[in-house]
Amino acid sequence: MKLWKQTLLALIAACHFSAAQAAPVAMDNVAVIVNEGVVLQSDINTAMKTLKANAQKNGQALPDDKILKDQVTEKLILDAIQQQEAQRIGVRIDDARLNAAIEEIAKNNNQTVEQLISALSAQGLSYPEFREQIRKEIAVSEARNALVRRRINILPSEVDNLANILAQESGATVQYHIGHIQLRLDDGEDKSKVEAQANELVKRLKDGEDFSALAYTYSKGPKALQGGDWGWMQKEEMPTIFADQIGLQNKGSIIGPFRSGVGFHILKIEDVKGLETVAVTEVNARHILIKPTVILSDDGVKKELQEITREINAGEATFGELAQKYSQDPGSAAQNGELGFQTSDLYVPEFKHQIDTLPVGKISEPFKTVHGWHIVEVLDRREVDRTDAALKNKAYRIIFNRKFNEETSAWLQEIRAAAFVEVIKDNDDAN
């Protein structure tokens, strides 16, 4: 959930309050001056009545009015300062974004937007007022996120350490099918020569050569005559030098070479059982992009791409040749239009839809995105194990959320301390 949405969820309850907020105020007073802005006495009164209504509804106890008023006033001061920060850095929430947020509030409240509007009206709160309050809340949250995020620094080592801990916690019952090649380093033998041979074997394995065949040929390890196959083992059952090397690697990973007292070792994780895996589909596609100009209209671009498609299908030119000649995406044009294997969520929605739905080898009809007009062809799809990436993403989110909460508290204290705040005495008590 986006951070600003968490703020909005607190506003859902406002749809169930009494009509105190709509009561006419004969004369309002300034309760607090906050920099160039103010907090009105009516703001404090309304907030207190809202809290009391909520507490009564939920059977919760509240402190006495003086303590409650102090807490409410402090919160409104912080809200005012944050709104001023949002204005200072130029946060603007357009109507489309606002409408989406209100639709989500209604959905979380098990209502349609029309039902939400009716509920607000029945409680005496006008929909325009509600919309502007939501707009302010989103703007404040966006400003807070932007200003606090820049204070956060997460080191790769922090992520790796936590990801390894998460992997260990979730891997107590995980079994690994391990392959092993050992290159023995005899007394007096040239270490660099054996290490070079180990590196060459790793390269050959990553290029697709059969692990067991290389193990039969080169390994001096205890399982050499089994093609290096150690079978299924939990980490606790492995030799320590194996267990120490296995962290976040996936099925098919080649590990090494690494050194022990007897020589150099190479491991392959043939398979994994008991680990919650995350697989994603990667797509290799190629495209041709042409952008409309003052001279070349959308219709003109579309017709040009249709002619390019005809030439390809007729065998008059290849996709790669025409991508190099016509495509206005210089990065992919130099690669014959190819974008390489990527997950489709990296692309804009219209492009994503095309590469998710096109059969392999078929060229799309011309379509438009924010970048211009495209034709695209899917060259291949593959399933990729991203369990290690998922664990690292989870670790990153945990660390980020912890640091964000810590830095938010520090940031609020700093902007509160730096603000000019004057409480005006002799205000009416909020009853």
The DSSP-derived string for 277-298 is --EEEEEEEEEEEE---SSS-H
Query: What are the backbone dihedrals phi and psi of residue 110, each rounded to the nearest 5 degrees, phi first?
Result: 55, 45
CA of residue 83 relative to chain centroid, distance:
26
Q: Would you state the pLDDT for residue 318? A: 95
Q: Per-residue pLDDT tens for 164-174?
A: 777 776 655 68
pLDDT digits (tens, 9 = 90+) for 301-310: 999 999 999 9
pLDDT of residue 16: 39
Amino acid (one-letter) located at 422: E
- pLDDT value of position 289: 95
pLDDT of residue 19: 33
Angle between helices 65-88 and 41-58 (to 10 degrees): 120
- Whether the pLDDT of residue 120 is over 90: the answer is no
The vertex-403 CA angle with 167 and 86, nearest 5°, equals 135
Instruction: Output DSSP code: residue 308.
Output: H
Higher pLDDT: 84 or 22? It is 84
At 426 the pLDDT is 58
Positive or negative, the CA dihedral 41, 42, 43, 46 is positive
Q: Which of 16-25, 116-125, 260-269 ranks highest by mean pLDDT?
A: 260-269
d(CA 196, CA 192): 6
Number of other residues whose CB lies within 10 A of the CB of residue 264: 23
**389-399 pLDDT tens trace:** 777 878 888 89
7 falls in which pLDDT band (50, 70, 90)? very low
Query: For position 21, what pLDDT does the model report?
Result: 40
- Please, which pLDDT band fits residue 203 given cuts at 50, 70 and 90? very high
- The residue with greater pLDDT, 124 or 287, is 287
Tell me the pTM: 0.49
**By percentage, how much of the chain surpasses pLDDT 90?**
39
Take residue 139 and report the two structure tokens written for it.
């703007």
Q: What is the CA radius of gyration of the chain?
A: 32
Region 98-104 average pLDDT: 90
Model confidence band, residue 255 (pLDDT cutoffs 50, 70, 90)? very high
Amino acid letter, 294: V
Burial of 272 (0-12, 13-18, 19+ CB in 10 A): buried
- Domains detected in the chain: 1-170+389-431 (1.10.4030.10), 172-273 (3.10.50.40), 279-385 (3.10.50.40)
Can you give the pLDDT at residue 4?
45
Tell which residue, 153, 10, 169, has the closest CA to residue 75: 10
Locate 202 and state its tokens. Answer: 């790793």
Closest CA to 36 of 327, 421, 300, 428: 421
pLDDT, tens only, 349-380: 889 999 999 999 999 999 998 889 999 999 99
Q: Which of 7-16, 214-223, 241-250 is the most confident on average?
A: 214-223
Please tell me the predicted confidence (pLDDT) of residue 165: 79
* Separation of alpha carbons 173 and 187, rounded Å: 40
Q: Given this model, what pLDDT does residue 10 score?
A: 44
Beta strands in 10-156 (DSSP E): 30-34, 37-40
CA distances from 219 to 59, 184, 235, 260 (A): 73, 8, 22, 15
pLDDT score of 6: 44
Amino acid 63: pLDDT: 84
Shortest CA distance to 82 belongs to which of 416, 424, 405? Answer: 416
Could you tell me what percent of the chain has a pLDDT over 70? 89
* Residue 193 CA: distances (Å) to CA of 189, 236, 256, 261, 380: 8, 33, 16, 16, 40
- Tokens matching residue 80: 């005012």
Query: How far is 345 from 355, CA to CA, in rounded Å?
Result: 10
Query: Is the per-residue pLDDT at 2 higher than 70?
Result: no
Q: What is the pLDDT of residues 326-350, one digit of tens each?
A: 999 998 999 999 999 988 888 888 8
Highest mean pLDDT among 14-28, 50-64, 220-234: 220-234
Residue 236 confidence (pLDDT): 78
